[in-house]
Amino acid sequence: MRLTTKGRFAVTAMMDLALRGQDGPVALAGVSERQKISLSYLEQLFGKLRRDKLVDSVRGPGGGYCIARPLDRVTVADIIRAVDEPLDATQCGGRENCLDDQRCMTHDLWSSLNTRMYDYLASVTLASLVARQREKEAKSGLQTVLEDRRSIPRSRSRNVRDKVAAVI
């Protein structure tokens, strides 16, 4: 069982789009640069995401891609399924011919794992991933402000400390 780069990259790109798409379409070139994913690979993935109606494309200057549904209605399972990523822990692909055209002893175990993986990924929405990411970024930004505050010479530190306290 494994999740290939196709599924991982699709989820990463959709998160990038969700984080930046509130101001309008997002260019795939920007996603490519930020996430270090080949532009041609992203174009292939977004073609599949568009066919599955997870994203809309906007042509022309200022064009790019937008998420086609509310973020709380797009799940990780939707994204992975759209790019044809199989999540299957069985050796047989569910055909029950694992061992010499017979069902293997552990088929039910792997089949149950498939169900649980799918259920979990179907429960994780882009909205929840974006909220977690924004929370991490906010904490990181606060940490940077606090670190910057420590590096200010004492003569200026009182004014800056007051400003930082007001922000916090």
Report residue 97 CA to chain centroid gap: 34
The answer to whether 90 and 110 have CB atoms below 8 angstroms apart is yes
Quote the pTM value: 0.76
Output Rg (C-alpha) for the chain, integer angstroms.
22
pLDDT of residue 154: 54
The answer to whether 130 and 19 have CB atoms below 8 angstroms apart is yes
Residues in the chain predicted with pLDDT less than 70, given as ranges, are 1-2, 94, 142-168
What type of residue is 104?
C
Strand, helix or coil at 66?
Answer: strand
Residue that the structure tokens 């929405």 belong to = 125
pLDDT of residue 62: 86
pLDDT of residue 103: 79
Torsion of CA 135, 139, 140, 145, to 10 degrees: 140
Residues in a beta bridge with 67: 55
pLDDT of residue 106: 84
Give the span between the Cα atoms of 113 and 79, in whole angstroms: 19
Digit-coded pLDDT (tens) for 3-47: 788 999 999 999 999 999 888 999 999 999 999 999 999 999 999
Give the span between the Cα atoms of 17 and 12, in whole angstroms: 9
**Backbone phi, then psi, for 110, in 5-degree steps?**
-70, -35
